Amino acid sequence: MEKSFRLNNGLEIPSVGFGTWQTPDGDTAVKAVKCALADGYRHIDAAAVYANEASVGKGIAESGIPRQKIWVTSKVWNTDRGYDSTLRAFERTSKDLGLDCLDLYLVHWPASPSRFPNWKEINSDTWRAMERLVREGRVRSIGVSNFLPHHLDALLLNAEIAPAVDQIEYHPGFMQPGTVRYCKEHGIQVEAWSPLGTGRMLDNATLRLIAGKYGKSVAQICIRWALQHGVLPLPKSVTPSRIRENIQVFDFIISEEDMAAIDAMEYCGGSGLDPDKIDF
Ligand code: A2P
């Protein structure tokens, strides 16, 4: 298993990222990020709406690791969709993180037909701003998050730069096969948010049985399973022992039989957040 994936723009992205959703702002976030970087993570996944970007940026700055060795992602929030507001949102995020340039900037959620009659136009306007940020050298890659095939179809019609990434909810029990297939066919790297089902998968009997066979934790099985599917997991933790555990996933291989057993799991552990129905 490679330690990075190659994106459609030729850039190499470290194959396990450190999630910061629900990480409390302040000292906890600073320490978690520093701990992750000390343990070997070279990829930090942030977002404006997580309301902790200044602390995440402080953790990066205090880590002592040269900026260019760390992949940093952030996301434009839903209330900032549109051309001008996306550009303004980027400036705020850039200032909060203390970084002039980001490695990846994502549209956090698509505007959807159920709430916005002009959803295609909103997403395209947002995307034009994202493309401008690439041209101006403020971001190295752009992508989307929570986009389903119909959102991507509409976006690709007018896009000058194809999304490099789609970050979606993905974990055992919730594989989103249609979206993953679409992304593979279009050269879009899938990233997994909540690769542990925000902790909901940790007591799952099937996963516990398989984890026991390998002498690994359920969290490590979830992370490794995503990697073996070519999906980039973004586990979140504020607990030093778990942070370390979650990147120790390169010394074992889940057999084809066990991969298939995990793939066959019934729907479970999903957040229930449907990009076409969310009301935020
Ligand atoms: P904590 O941050 O308190 O350590 P996800 O990445 O799917 O969103 O899951 C994050 C949740 O899973 C958090 O509640 C986190 O707790 C917990 N978690 C993360 N890694 C592990 C682990 N290796 N073992 C047990 N729980 C974990």
- Judging by DSSP bridges, how do beta strands 18-19 and 43-45 pair with one another? parallel
Per residue in 12-41, pLDDT (tens digit) is 999 999 999 999 999 999 999 999 999 999
**196 Cα–ligand 1 center, Å:** 7
The pLDDT, as a whole number, for residue 45 is 98
User: What's the mean per-residue pLDDT of the chain?
Assistant: 97
Binding site membership of 23 for ligand 1 (Cβ less than 6 Å): no
Q: Whose CA is nearest to atom 19 of ligand 1?
A: 237
Task: Please enumerate in sequence order all residues whose Cβ is within 8 A of that of 12, keeping only pairs 6 or more positions apart, or say none.
Answer: 4, 5, 6
pLDDT along the chain (280 residues), means of 10: 92 98 98 98 98 98 98 98 98 98 98 94 98 98 98 97 98 98 98 97 97 98 98 98 98 98 96 94
Which is the closest atom of ligand 1 to the Cα of 23?
A: 2
Do 146 and 167 contact (CB within 8 A), yes or no?
Answer: yes
Do 168 and 132 contact (CB within 8 A), yes or no?
Answer: no
**What is the residue type of 99?**
L
**200 Cα–ligand 1 center, Å:** 9
- Give the Cα separation of 84 and 67 in Å (integer): 28
Do 35 and 62 contact (CB within 8 A), yes or no?
Answer: no
**217 Cα–ligand 1 center, Å:** 12
Task: Please enumerate in sequence order all residues whose Cβ is within 8 A of that of 38, keeping only pairs 6 or more positions apart, or say none.
Answer: 63
Asked if 50 is an active-site residue, the reply is yes
- Give the Cα separation of 278 and 280 in Å (integer): 6
Q: How many CB atoms lie within 10 A of CB 177?
A: 8
Burial label for 264, CB within 10 Å (0-12, 13-18, 19+), is exposed
The pLDDT, as a whole number, for residue 1 is 65
DSSP state of 72: E
- Give the Cα separation of 82 and 105 in Å (integer): 15
